[in-house]
Amino acid sequence: MDSVKIKIDQLREELNRHNYNYYVLNTPEISDYNFDMKMKELERLESSYPQFDDPYSPTHRVGSDISKGFTQWIHKRPMLSLGNTYSMEEVDDFVRRVKDGLMGEQVQIVGELKYDGTSISLSYEHGRLVRAVTRGDGTQGDVVTDNIVTIKSIPLQLQGEGWPDEFEIRGEIVLPWKEFDRLNAEREFNEEPLFANPRNAASGTLKLQNSSEVARRGLDAVFYYLLGDNLPADNHYDNMMAARKWGFKVAPVMTLMTSTKEVGDFISYWDIKRKELPVATDGLVFKVNDLRQQLNLGYTAKSPRWATAYKFQAERALTELKFVSFEVGRMGIVTPVANLEPVLLSGTIVKRASLHNEDIIKQLDIHDGDMLYVEKGGEIIPKITGVELSRRKFGSETVKFVKDCPVCGTPLVRIEGEAAWMCPNKTGCAPQICGRIEHFVGRRMMNIDGIGEEMAAILYENGWVSDPSDLYELERYRAEMLKLQGMGPRTIDRMIEGVENSKNVPFDRVLYALSIPYLGETSSKKVAKALRNIDAVMNADNETLCSIDDIGPRIAQSIREYFSIPSNRNMVGRLQSFGLQMALPDNTAASGSEVLAGKSIVVSGTFNKRSRDEYKEMIELNGGKNVGSVSKKTDFILAGENMGPSKLDKAKSLGIPLVDEDSFLKMISGQN
Pairing assessment for the beta strands 371-376 and 315-328 based on DSSP bridges: antiparallel
Considering the rule CB under 6 A, would residue 82 count as an interface residue with ligand IVH?
Answer: yes
Gyration radius of the chain over CA positions: 29
Distance CA 35, CA 32 (A): 5
Q: Which is nearer to ligand IVH, 82 or 548 (CB)?
A: 82
Distance CA 543, CA 289 (A): 63
Burial profile 421-458: b = 16 or more Cβ within 10 angstroms, e = fewer = bbbebbeebebbbbbbbbbbbbeebbebebbeeebbbb
3-state secondary structure 449-490: CCCCHHHHHHHHHCCCCCCHHHHHHHHHHHHHHHHCCCCCHH
Among residues 66, 80, 241, 659, which is the contact residue for ligand IVH, using CB under 6 A?
80
Side chain identity at residue 374, one-letter code: V
As to burial, measured by CB atoms within 10 angstroms (0-12 exposed, 13-18 middle, 19+ buried), residue 295 is exposed
Distance CA 324, CA 367 (A): 10
Among residues 114, 274, 526, 529, which is the contact residue for ligand IVH, using CB under 6 A?
114
Q: How far is CA 104 from CA 95, 99, 101, 457, in A?
A: 11, 5, 8, 73
Considering the rule CB under 6 A, would residue 112 count as an interface residue with ligand IVH?
Answer: yes
Minimum CB–partner distance for residue 103 and ligand IVH (Å):
23
Distance CA 461, CA 456 (A): 9
Binding-site string for ligand IVH from residue 266 to residue 295, where x marks contact by CB under 6 A and - marks none: -------------------x----------
Q: Which is nearer to ligand IVH, 285 or 584 (CB)?
A: 285
Among residues 95, 201, 202, 309, which is the contact residue for ligand IVH, using CB under 6 A?
309
Q: Which is nearer to ligand IVH, 6 or 256 (CB)?
A: 256
Minimum CB–partner distance for residue 269 and ligand IVH (Å):
16
Q: Which is nearer to ligand IVH, 80 or 546 (CB)?
A: 80
Handedness of CA 490, 495, 496, 498 (dihedral sign): positive
Minimum CB–partner distance for residue 318 and ligand IVH (Å):
29
Binding-site string for ligand IVH from residue 144 to residue 173, where x marks contact by CB under 6 A and - marks none: ----------------------------x-
Q: Which is nearer to ligand IVH, 63 or 336 (CB)?
A: 63
Minimum CB–partner distance for residue 132 and ligand IVH (Å):
14
Which H/E stretch holds residue 272?
helix 260-273
Find the part of the chain contacting ligand IVH (CB under 6 A) among 109-117, 193-201, 437-445, 476-484. 109-117
Q: Which is nearer to ligand IVH, 224 or 246 (CB)?
A: 224
Find the part of the chain contacting ligand IVH (CB under 6 A) among 12-20, 111-119, 337-345, 478-486. 111-119
Minimum CB–partner distance for residue 168 and ligand IVH (Å):
11
Dihedrals phi, psi of 514, to nearest 5 degrees: -70, -10
Minimum CB–partner distance for residue 472 and ligand IVH (Å):
56
Q: Which is nearer to ligand IVH, 112 or 179 (CB)?
A: 112
Considering the rule CB under 6 A, would residue 253 count as an interface residue with ligand IVH?
Answer: no
- Looking at the chain, how many residues does it have? 672
Considering the rule CB under 6 A, would residue 225 count as an interface residue with ligand IVH?
Answer: yes
Minimum CB–partner distance for residue 305 and ligand IVH (Å):
10
Minimum CB–partner distance for residue 115 and ligand IVH (Å):
4
Distance CA 342, CA 672 (A): 65
Residue nearest to ligand IVH (CB): 119
Considering the rule CB under 6 A, would residue 304 count as an interface residue with ligand IVH?
Answer: yes
Considering the rule CB under 6 A, would residue 119 count as an interface residue with ligand IVH?
Answer: yes
Q: Are 634 and 627 in contact (CB under 8 A)?
A: yes
Strand partners, 172: 119, 222
Q: Which is nearer to ligand IVH, 82 or 572 (CB)?
A: 82
DSSP, res 165: S
Among residues 122, 251, 534, 555, which is the contact residue for ligand IVH, using CB under 6 A?
251
Minimum CB–partner distance for residue 222 and ligand IVH (Å):
8
Q: Which residues have a catalytic role annotated? A: 114
Minimum CB–partner distance for residue 81 and ligand IVH (Å):
4
Instruction: Tell me, by CB under 6 A, how many residues bind ligand IVH.
Output: 15
Minimum CB–partner distance for residue 199 and ligand IVH (Å):
10
Task: Look at residues 514, 362, 296 and name the one whose alpha carbon lies nearest to residue 29.
Answer: 362
Q: Which is nearer to ligand IVH, 270 or 472 (CB)?
A: 270
Q: Which is nearer to ligand IVH, 46 or 172 (CB)?
A: 172
Considering the rule CB under 6 A, would residue 254 count as an interface residue with ligand IVH?
Answer: no
Q: How far is CA 521 from CA 107, 330, 509, 512, 627, in A?
A: 58, 16, 7, 6, 19
Q: Are 151 and 207 in contact (CB under 8 A)?
A: no
Minimum CB–partner distance for residue 306 and ligand IVH (Å):
8
Distance CA 546, CA 576 (A): 25
Neighbours of 178 (CB within 10 A): 11
The angle subtended at Cα 655 by Cα 652 and Cα 656, nearest 5°, is 90
Q: Are 360 and 385 in contact (CB under 8 A)?
A: no
Binding-site string for ligand IVH from residue 349 to residue 368, where x marks contact by CB under 6 A and - marks none: --------------------
Q: Which is nearer to ligand IVH, 81 or 296 (CB)?
A: 81
Binding-site string for ligand IVH from residue 529 to residue 568, where x marks contact by CB under 6 A and - marks none: ----------------------------------------
Considering the rule CB under 6 A, would residue 571 count as an interface residue with ligand IVH?
Answer: no
Among residues 81, 346, 544, 576, which is the contact residue for ligand IVH, using CB under 6 A?
81
564 alpha-carbon distance from chain centroid: 34
Considering the rule CB under 6 A, would residue 474 count as an interface residue with ligand IVH?
Answer: no
Among residues 73, 115, 563, 664, which is the contact residue for ligand IVH, using CB under 6 A?
115
Among residues 307, 328, 441, 667, which is the contact residue for ligand IVH, using CB under 6 A?
307
Contacts 24+ apart (CB under 8 A), 348-352: 350/317, 350/319, 350/374, 350/376, 350/382
Collapsing DSSP states into helix, strand and coil, what is residue 436?
helix
Collapsing DSSP states into helix, strand and coil, what is residue 167?
strand
Dihedrals phi, psi of 84, to nearest 5 degrees: -110, 145
Q: Which is nearer to ligand IVH, 172 or 508 (CB)?
A: 172
By the criterion CB under 6 A, which residues form the site for ligand IVH? 80-82, 112, 114-115, 119, 172, 224-225, 251, 285, 304, 307, 309
